Amino acid sequence: MVNVSVVIPTYNRRPLLERALLSVLAQSSPASEVIVVDDGSSDGTDELIGARYPQVRYFYQENRGVSSARNRGIRESAGEWIALLDSDDEWKPEKLARQSAALSEHPGFDLCHCEEDWVRAGVRVNQGARHAKSGGHILQRCLHLCVISPSAALVRRTVFNDIGLFDEDLPACEDYDFWLRFCSRRPVLFVDESLVIKHGGRDDQLSRRIEGLDRYRVRALAKLLHMGILEESDARAARRVMVEKARIFAAGARKRGRESEADEIIALVGAHEDGSR
């Protein structure tokens, strides 16, 4: 078993957080430590942890967003590996054991993810083909949307030193941005077994609360291109996707009378558009 710190950011999700914690504590191969970062909750999350989970390391901060909370947990952790878990998801009991075994068999990898079950409003739903998970050099599969879920990821600590933490300037799509930065440099290890239950369909989720998510994906792609580390084929693919997403977002913004937002996103991609064809 690899040495694992579990990091769970949370905000006003007391009942869901308890479900997540119970799934961590039920692991057949226990984590070395469990960290909860409370991003300004007012629902008694602190009382829950204090009364029922004294073994959990609990940190409270004023509300700064999920990236800040994740980053705080990573900084406070001590494990060689960081297992991320969103507070509304849960793990199956063999999650850490299966991933640890895979990493022992393939020691050259710095990130391992796994298959997951999707549940919406309590009902199991099928993933679309575009969400199919895989391993290896998957950058071009990551360009259109997130194909790695935070709750399924086990990341070597040194990765955060090498490529940075989650971008706290992005109010959404911060995980998309992080996977782009990782997958542009390194391959990923994939365990083709469903070890995570990913819950969706609630109004408090970022994907439902924040409009125009593609604007943040465009920002992430522009940042990736600006780094100048991509091979030419990957750079061309990234530019194509960035331009496509920017045009779709701008068209929608103009329909809603948000001209300044449309102009801003088009200006962002202008320097890269000529190379996208």
Q: Pick from 63, 51, 7: which is nearest to 31 by CA?
A: 7
Distance of alpha carbon 42 from alpha carbon 186, whole angstroms: 40
Distance of alpha carbon 41 from alpha carbon 39, whole angstroms: 6
pLDDT of residue 268: 86
Mean pLDDT by 10 residues, the chain (277 residues): 93 96 98 98 97 97 97 98 97 98 96 96 84 94 94 98 96 96 97 95 58 90 94 96 93 89 86 50
- How is the chain split into domains, by residue range? 4-202, 214-276
Cα–Cα distances (Å) from 269 to 36, 234, 246, in that order, read 38, 16, 7
Distance of alpha carbon 66 from alpha carbon 171, whole angstroms: 8
Rg (C-alpha) for the chain, rounded Å, is: 19
pLDDT of residue 206: 58
CB 2 within 8 A of CB 80: yes
- Residue 211 has which token pair? 């409009």
Ramachandran assignment for 172, one of left (phi > 0), alpha (psi -120 to 50 degrees), beta (any other):
beta
Residues near 201 by beta carbon (within 8 Å), at least 6 away in sequence: 120, 121
Distance of alpha carbon 207 from alpha carbon 201, whole angstroms: 9
CATH topology of domain 4-202: Spore Coat Polysaccharide Biosynthesis Protein SpsA; Chain A (3.90.550)
pLDDT of residue 202: 56
